[in-house]
Amino acid sequence: MNKTFIVLLSIACYCMTTEARGQQVITSVVRANGASGAQPLPMEEGGVKDGNLMYSDRSDRVFAKTPTGTLGPAGEPLIGSEYVRTFDGDKNAGGANVTYTVTISMQAMVWITMDDRWNATDRQNRVNSVTSSIAPAGTFTYTGLKVYVGTDNDRPMSVYAAELGPGTYVFGPNVGNNFYSIGATASYDPLPASGDRYVKTTQATLSWTNLDSVLKCDLYFGTERDLVTMTKVTITNPAERETVGIPANYLPLQELTDYYWVVDSYYGVSDPNDPNNLILPDNPNLFRPVWTFHTNNNEAPLVGVSDQYLWHGKDGDPDSAALVFTPVVIDDGLPLSGELTYKWTQLAGPAVTIDPNDALAKDISLVLTELSNDYQFQMTVSDGDLTTSVTARVVLAADSCAASARKPGFSYSLGDINKDCYVNLRDFAEMALAWLECTDTGAGCR
C-alpha cells in the first residue's frame, strides 16, 4: 500500500517566565528549495497549542493533543512555545531538497520530530540525516515525547533532542516523504551540568545564565524532587551569570548521591505567588523536570604506554625482535567494588597474535618478525566504572640505526655522510672520494 507522508517544520522556544517571555530564542528562519519560494508566515498567537495552525499553506492542519511534557534542563513545556509555520506542500517532489536555516540566540535544547509511521530505527536514521550538517549521527536522541497533527487523525510524531549553542543551523534536505518538525527550548547552561554523573563531593557552588529582565530567582536544592523538603534560596537582582553557594546544610556533598536543583525566575513583578511556574498544571504534587547531578569522586585510570622502536637482532635472533609492554597505570581505588581490567588490541600493522589480550595482567610480551613502520597497539584499562584507552606506535626496522631514524625529531649528525648513525673514517672516506668534485652547472667549474 502506498503511503503519502506530510512534512511539517516547526520551530519552538521556551523561556522560564510568568509575566513576560524574556529573550527570543529563535531569531531567524530561512526556507530554501521548497515547493514554492515563499517564506513562512508568522506563528499563531500563543505559540504551540491545540487549535493553532501548523502550516503557511494549509488552513486545516492544527496542533492537537499537545503534551504537557517538558524538554531540556529548564523544564519548560511544549505548550506555548514558538514555532515556524512551514509548508505542507514540501512533502511533494518539488520540496525534496527543502532546507530550513534556523538561527538561535542562546544555548538551547533543540528538538526534531519524526513521523511515527516509520519504525523506531527508520525514525532515528531519518533524524540523523536531516541533522547531518549540524551534529554526528545519534546526537539527537529520543525523548519519550510525541507531538500530534490535528485534523489528520491526530498523527503522532516522536521527539528527538540535543543541546546546541547559539548559532545558525541548517536542517534538511528532506528524507523521502517523511514528517518532521523542529523546536528549541532555552537552556540556562547550568553548572554542574544537568545529568553530570561525576561531580566531586567538594563541589560547593551552583551557577546558571539568566534570561533578560529577571528581577528575582528562587533556587531550590535537595536530594529529592520535592519542594517541601528542598532548601530554598532567594536571589534578588541576579546577575546575568549567577553563582551561589550550595546550601550549607548539604555540605559537604555525599558520595554517590543524586542531587536536584531548579531556578524559579520572575519577570516584571517583585513579589509574585510562590512557587512561580514550577507546578505542572495536570499534577500539583509534581513539578517540572529539574537539573540533576550525581556525586562520584571516581577518576578514570591514568595510563602511560611508550612508543617503541625495535630492530631485527635486538634480542639475538636476526629475524625478529621482542616487544614488551610494561605500561604505567595509576588509579584512585574507586569504585571500592571495582577491579582493574586490561585489554590489548592491535589497530594497525602486520597481524600479531596477542595472547592473552584480556586479562588482569597488564604487561604483555610479543615477538615481531615482519618489518613495518606502522604497528599500532591499544591498551584499554577499566576500573569497572570508567575506562581509559591509549595507543602506542611500534616500529620494527632492519637495524638499530634505521629504528632510531623513525623517532620523532630525529636527525643525522652533520658529519654522518653515509647515515649509519656514526661519524667515523667511513664518512671521511666517502667525502674524500668526492673531494674537489664540482657540480656547478651554471657558471661552470674552474
Q: Which domains does the chain have, with CATH numbers?
A: 26-186 (no CATH), 205-294 (2.60.40), 302-410 (2.60.40.10)
CB atoms within 10 A of CB 194: 22
Instruction: State the pLDDT at residue 35.
Output: 78
- Three-state DSSP string of the chain: CCCCCCCCCCCCCCCCCCCCCCCCCEEEEEEECCCCCCCCECCCCCCCCCCCECECCCCCCEEECCCCCEECCCCEECCCCCCCEECHHHHCHHHCCCEEEEEECCCEEEEEEEECCCCHHHHHHHHHHHCCCCCCCCCCEEEEEEEEEECCCCEEEEEEEEEECCEEEEECCCCCCCCEEEEEEECCCCECCCCCCCECCCCCEEEEECCCCEEEEEEEEECCCCCCCCEEEEEECCCCEEEEECCHHHCCCCCCCEEEEEEEEEECCCCCCCCCCCEECCEEEEECCCEEEEECCCCCCEEECCCEEEECCCCCCCCCEEEEECCEEECCCCCCCCCCEEEEEEEECCCCCCCCCEECCCCEEEEECCCEEEEEEEEEEECCCCEEEEEEEEEEECCHHHHHHCCCCCCCCCCCCCCCCCCCHHHHHHHHHCCCCCCCCCCCCC
Bigger pLDDT: 57 vs 289: 57
Tell whether the model's pLDDT for residue 81 goes beyond 80.
Answer: no
Query: From the centroid of its chain, how far is CA 6?
Result: 30
Percent pLDDT > 90 in the chain is: 38
Q: Mean pLDDT across the stretch 275-280?
A: 49
**Which of 233-242, 259-268, 276-285, 287-296 has the largest mean confidence?**
233-242
Nearest in space to 28 (alpha carbons), one of 44, 16, 39: 39
Q: Which residues pair with 77 in a beta bridge?
A: 70
Q: What is the torsional sign of CA 109, 26, 150, 171?
A: negative
Reported confidence tier of residue 166, pLDDT bands at 50, 70, 90? confident
Q: Which residue has the cell 519552538?
A: 12
CA atoms within 13 A of residue 56's CA, in its CB half-sphere: 20
Nearest in space to 14 (alpha carbons), one of 85, 84, 79, 101: 79
- Give how far Cα 66 sits from Cα of 110, 148, 211, 227, 441, Å: 17, 7, 25, 26, 85
- The structure's pTM equals 0.56
**Which of 101-105, 362-366, 397-401 has the largest mean confidence?**
397-401
Tell whether the model's pLDDT for residue 179 goes beyond 60.
Answer: no
User: 137: which residues sit within 8 A by CB, 6+ positions away?
Assistant: 128
The pLDDT tens digits of the residues spanning 138-147 come to 888 887 778 8
Bigger pLDDT: 442 vs 410: 410
